[in-house]
């Protein structure tokens, strides 16, 4: 607070244009906040109308005197501290002596009655004196002063606003989400947000800013009517000084904290419009779960914090609810959209996964670092291409999904730490993992069959109806874990079912999915020639029917990482060197469909390739055509276990025809 700060008489508004409209609306009575917003439209408030606008924004206009029933006795154990702080505050205001005594009693009464009514022990560190400062300048009567103070404390000052408090752990997660480099720098110096932002949040910047700047900030903040918006104002103040902060690498911790703490004092009136515009932008780039999952920070103390959600200090990154993930990727245009990365082991992913999820086996980070690095590069390229193509799976916000079991998600946490260490922005984790996704889908499925699993969950086996019936069976017993009897295990068992279930799942997925499927184009010419190397007999199909499938990423028709390249060690020499006649192969009676495609090796070379579907096993064989041969001959065959991620040839009206096998990517 400035030395000798004076409380001046409130000037009257000019009475022209929007100010006159605002004055008339306030005089008419019954004006709500939305009406005020439409008139004010973010412009600075006239000083003489500010009190009325703030009271409407705080919903205390016309409220009675809350102190009327109080006896007025100032007898708290910490009363001397309260009186001392209030006296120092009055001395800084430079009010006339005849008004100073009355104002001192008003302020001390407001604080004392609030402590008594809320059973709170007063402390100077609470910043209440600073919070009262902008209200005192409105020259309100004691009843309105208390009502406004109470409303601000109740709605805009978060619970546990103290050192190491939950609001500051949440602020760190927000910094990490948008500015991971800055967050990492502060973490390295062991500078936590509560060490510099305690009074930012506790006084809504009134502790550091001039009265004019504070009033301008509160004008906009109270009209927003969003208590979480203060987080984004604080974030912008940090971001604005990011370069200066990072340049202080050699400075001691205390010097950096002191610099950060006093940063708001450099704000002036001309900065407020840009401050709010940037805060709005960062707000629009933040998942809604930031608010929804922490709404209990503000408001009545009757709303408790659940014990299992209380320790944000241990959170690796910002958590996003599965319901928001599903809703966000249905949005059109602006808004937070997620690129979901499923980090579970391949067998769990193949058993069932979010249909738009990209698979990144977190086990590879330790088991095969080079393959993990390649997978990460593929992930980032997939994210880029999905955004450019407008895919329903596209999104600039990376959301990692595990199983939801702590013991199984340790590797995923290492992957998350890897991305955060690389200062990757917009990194979050799906709250509750795949188990929470199953539970959410089971819950909404109660409303009707149109909300079934088949729309969201893709798997390598089992029909949607069988999955839904399993959930319905769990629901009927009325237990709390409805739909949660290890659906992953059920899907894993479904892998062993008959091939007819696979066919049913394919047809169900194609007929019922509501997400658009991008069609790939293939222009590879195939000469109609024959070769007499030798004929293929049914006995040629030997070997293990299902090999272990490593992560494979395929985006568009430009990039594919072949499973044969990864699993070549598991193939015999005969498998690799076998030469057969392609025309004879595709004319076999048990070949249902065949089609040309292309294989791209990691070296960047492209080779022609044929895939064919067989019955009764409904199996997929891949035939690699050697480009050096005069005739189209097959130089290798591979038996694939094909999951439910397809690009469909629309020339077939009802039959599912796979144009390219995409074992580990759910992108469409």
Of 156, 182, 206, which closes a domain? 156
Q: Is the confidence at residue 622, as pLDDT, over 60? A: no
639 membership: H or E segment, kind and range: strand 633-640
Best CA proximity match to 294, nearest among 471, 129, 168: 168
* Per-residue pLDDT, 458: 77
Residues contacting 485, CB < 8 A, separation 6+: 470, 474
- Same domain flag for 128 and 175: no
Question: Phi and psi dihedrals of 352, rounded to 5?
Answer: 175, 135
Compare 314 and 640 and report the one with higher pLDDT.
314
Q: Is the confidence at residue 66, as pLDDT, over 50? A: yes
* Per-residue pLDDT, 224: 93
* Per-residue pLDDT, 358: 93
* Per-residue pLDDT, 518: 37
- Same domain flag for 349 and 264: no
Q: How far is CA 18 from CA 14, 54, 99, 138, 296, in A?
A: 10, 17, 34, 21, 37
Contact 524, 608 (CB under 8 A): yes
Compare 153 and 492 and report the one with higher pLDDT.
153
Strands 620-625 and 633-640: antiparallel
How many structural domains compose the chain?
A: 4
- Same domain flag for 131 and 187: no
Confidence of residue 304 (pLDDT cuts 50, 70, 90): low
Of 112, 136, 156, which closes a domain? 156
Q: How far is CA 221 from CA 19, 54, 114, 269, in A?
A: 19, 10, 23, 14
Best CA proximity match to 214, nearest among 394, 18, 50: 50
- Same domain flag for 170 and 273: yes
Q: Is the confidence at residue 541, as pLDDT, over 70? A: no
Q: Is 316 exposed, middle or buried (0-12, 13-18, 19+ CB in 10 A)?
A: middle
We report the CATH number of the domain holding residue 401 as: 3.40.250.10
- Same domain flag for 127 and 168: no
SS3 track for 441-471:
HHHHHCCCHHHCHHHCEECCCCCHHHHHHHH
Over range 477-496, report the average pLDDT.
Answer: 37
Q: Within 10 A of 66 (CB to CB), how many other CB atoms are there?
A: 17
Best CA proximity match to 555, nearest among 372, 373, 353, 391: 391
Structure tokens at 608: 């022609």
Provide the percentage of residues in the chain whose pLDDT is more than 70: 64
Cα 563 to Cα 580: distance, rounded to the nearest angstrom: 21
Which residues make beta-bridge pairs with 338? 397
SS3 track for 256-310:
HHHHHHCHHHHCCHHHHHHHHHHHHHHHHCCCCHHHHCCHHHCCCCCCCCCHHHC
- The tens digit of pLDDT for each residue in 554-589 reads 333 333 333 333 343 334 444 444 456 677 767 776
Write down the residue that tokens 């609470």 correspond to: 126
* Per-residue pLDDT, 614: 56
- Same domain flag for 140 and 178: no
* Per-residue pLDDT, 248: 86
Q: Is the confidence at residue 30, as pLDDT, over 60? A: yes
Q: Give the DSSP letter string of 30-71.
A: ---HHHHHHHHTTPPPPHHHHHHHHHHHTT-TT---TTTTS-
Q: Is the confidence at residue 478, as pLDDT, over 50? A: no
Q: Is the confidence at residue 14, as pLDDT, over 90? A: no
Q: Is the confidence at residue 467, as pLDDT, over 90? A: no
Strand, coil or helix: what is 338? Answer: strand
* Per-residue pLDDT, 95: 83
- Same domain flag for 145 and 174: no
Best CA proximity match to 598, nearest among 486, 520, 510, 542: 520
* Per-residue pLDDT, 273: 94
* Per-residue pLDDT, 625: 46
Please give the mean pLDDT across all residues of the chain.
75
- The tens digit of pLDDT for each residue in 422-431 reads 999 999 999 9
- Same domain flag for 130 and 193: no
SS3 track for 383-426:
HHHHHHHCCCCCCCEEEEECCCCCCCCHHHHHHHHHHHHCCCCC
Residue 661 lies in a domain: no
Residue 201 lies in a domain: yes
Best CA proximity match to 396, nearest among 374, 416, 424, 421: 424
Chain center to CA of 414: 19
Cα 193 to Cα 183: distance, rounded to the nearest angstrom: 10
Residue 660 lies in a domain: no
Residue 145 lies in a domain: yes
Compare 99 and 595 and report the one with higher pLDDT.
99
Over range 64-85, report the average pLDDT.
Answer: 94
* Per-residue pLDDT, 653: 35
* Per-residue pLDDT, 335: 80
Q: How far is CA 609 from CA 535, 537, 638, in A?
A: 19, 20, 11
Cα 404 to Cα 408: distance, rounded to the nearest angstrom: 8
Confidence of residue 9 (pLDDT cuts 50, 70, 90): low
Residues contacting 662, CB < 8 A, separation 6+: 552, 554, 643, 645, 646, 647
Q: Is the confidence at residue 222, as pLDDT, over 90? A: yes
Count of residues for the chain?
Answer: 668
* Per-residue pLDDT, 429: 96
- Same domain flag for 263 and 169: yes
Cα 619 to Cα 247: distance, rounded to the nearest angstrom: 60
Torsion of CA 381, 383, 389, 391, to 10 degrees: 140
* Per-residue pLDDT, 325: 92
Question: Is the omega angle on the peptide bond into residue 616 within 30 degrees of 0, that is, cis?
Answer: yes
Compare 449 and 345 and report the one with higher pLDDT.
345
Domain with 604 in it: 579-638
Of 239, 259, 283, which closes a domain? 283
Question: Phi and psi dihedrals of 662, rounded to 5?
Answer: -125, 75
Residue 452 lies in a domain: no
Q: Is the confidence at residue 499, as pLDDT, over 70? A: no
- Same domain flag for 151 and 162: no
Edge to edge, what strands does the sheet with 358-359 contain? Answer: 318-320, 427-430, 397-401, 338-342, 358-359
- Same domain flag for 106 and 193: no
Best CA proximity match to 659, nearest among 600, 605, 613, 607: 613
We report the CATH number of the domain holding residue 249 as: 1.10.472.80
* Per-residue pLDDT, 333: 62
Residue 448 lies in a domain: no
Structure tokens at 53: 């606008």
Provide the percentage of residues in the chain whose pLDDT is more than 90: 49
Contact 210, 264 (CB under 8 A): no
Residue 665 lies in a domain: no
Compare 219 and 394 and report the one with higher pLDDT.
219
- The tens digit of pLDDT for each residue in 504-518 reads 443 343 344 334 333
Confidence of residue 355 (pLDDT cuts 50, 70, 90): confident
Residues contacting 78, CB < 8 A, separation 6+: 121, 122, 123
* Per-residue pLDDT, 570: 39
Residue 567 lies in a domain: no
Cα 472 to Cα 446: distance, rounded to the nearest angstrom: 8
Q: Is the confidence at residue 19, as pLDDT, over 70? A: yes
* Per-residue pLDDT, 613: 57
- Same domain flag for 142 and 191: no
């Amino acid at each position: 607070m400035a030395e000798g700060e004076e409380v001046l008489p409130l000037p009257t508004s000019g009475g022209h244009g929007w100010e006159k409209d605002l004055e008339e609306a306030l005089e008419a009575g019954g004006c709500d906040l939305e009406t005020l917003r439409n008139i004010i439209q973010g412009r600075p408030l006239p000083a003489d109308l500010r009190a009325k606008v703030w009271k409407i924004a705080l919903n205390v206009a016309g409220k009675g005197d809350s102190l009327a029933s109080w006896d007025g006795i100032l007898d708290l154990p910490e009363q001397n501290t309260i009186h001392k702080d209030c006296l120092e505050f009055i001395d800084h205001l430079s009010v006339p002596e005849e008004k100073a005594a009355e104002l001192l009693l008003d302020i001390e009464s407001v604080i004392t009655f609030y402590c008594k009514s809320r059973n709170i022990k007063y402390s100077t560190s609470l910043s209440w004196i600073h919070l009262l400062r902008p209200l005192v300048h409105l020259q309100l009567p004691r009843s309105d002063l208390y009502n406004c103070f109470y409303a601000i404390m109740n709605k805009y000052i978060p619970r546990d606003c103290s050192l190491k408090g939950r609001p500051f752990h949440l602020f760190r997660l927000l910094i990490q989400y948008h500015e991971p480099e800055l967050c990492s720098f502060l973490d390295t110096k062991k500078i936590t947000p509560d060490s510099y932002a305690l009074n930012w949040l506790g006084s809504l910047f009134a502790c550091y800013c001039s009265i004019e700047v504070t009033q301008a900030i509160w004008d906009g903040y109270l009209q927003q009517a969003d208590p979480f918006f203060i987080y984004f104002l604080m974030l912008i103040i940090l971001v604005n000084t990011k370069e200066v902060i990072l340049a202080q690498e050699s400075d001691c911790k205390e010097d950096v904290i002191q610099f950060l703490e006093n940063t708001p004092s450099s704000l002036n009136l001309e900065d407020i419009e840009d401050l709010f515009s940037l805060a709005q932008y960062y707000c629009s780039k933040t998942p809604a779960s930031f608010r929804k999952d922490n709404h209990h920070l503000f408001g009545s103390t009757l709303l408790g914090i659940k014990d299992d959600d209380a320790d944000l200090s241990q959170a690796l990154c910002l958590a996003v609810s599965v319901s928001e993930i599903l809703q966000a990727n249905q949005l059109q245009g602006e808004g937070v959209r997620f690129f979901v990365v499923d980090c579970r082991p391949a067998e769990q992913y193949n058993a069932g996964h979010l249909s738009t999820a990209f698979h990144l086996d977190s086990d590879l980070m330790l088991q095969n670092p080079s393959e993990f690095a390649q997978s990460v590069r593929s992930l980032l390229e997939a994210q880029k291409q999905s955004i450019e193509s407008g895919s329903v799976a596209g999104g600039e916000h990376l959301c990692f999904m595990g199983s939801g079991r702590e013991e199984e998600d340790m590797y995923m946490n290492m992957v998350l730490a890897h991305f955060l260490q690389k200062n990757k922005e917009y990194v979050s984790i799906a709250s509750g993992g795949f188990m929470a996704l199953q539970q959410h889908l089971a819950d909404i499925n109660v409303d009707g069959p149109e909300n079934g699993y088949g729309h969201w969950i893709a798997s390598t086996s089992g029909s949607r109806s069988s999955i839904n019936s399993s959930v319905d069976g769990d629901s009927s017993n009325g237990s709390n874990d409805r739909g949660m009897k290890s659906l992953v295990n059920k899907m894993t068992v479904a892998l062993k079912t008959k091939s007819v279930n696979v066919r049913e799942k394919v047809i169900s997925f194609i007929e019922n999915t509501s997400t658009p499927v991008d069609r790939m184009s293939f222009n590879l010419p195939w000469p109609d020639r024959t070769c007499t190397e030798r004929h293929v007999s049914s006995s040629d199909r030997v070997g293990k029917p299902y090999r272990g499938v490593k992560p494979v990423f395929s985006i568009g028709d430009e990039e594919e990482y072949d499973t044969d390249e990864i699993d070549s060690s598991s193939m015999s020499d005969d498998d690799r060197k076998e030469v057969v006649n392609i025309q004879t192969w595709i004319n076999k009676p048990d070949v249902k469909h065949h089609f040309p495609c292309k294989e791209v090796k990691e070296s960047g070379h492209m080779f022609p390739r044929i895939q064919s579907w067989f019955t009764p096993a409904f199996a997929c064989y891949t035939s690699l055509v050697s480009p050096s041969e005069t005739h189209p001959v097959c130089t290798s065959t591979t038996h694939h276990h094909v999951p439910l991620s397809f690009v469909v040839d629309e020339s077939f009206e009802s039959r599912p025809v796979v144009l390219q096998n995409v074992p580990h990517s759910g992108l469409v």
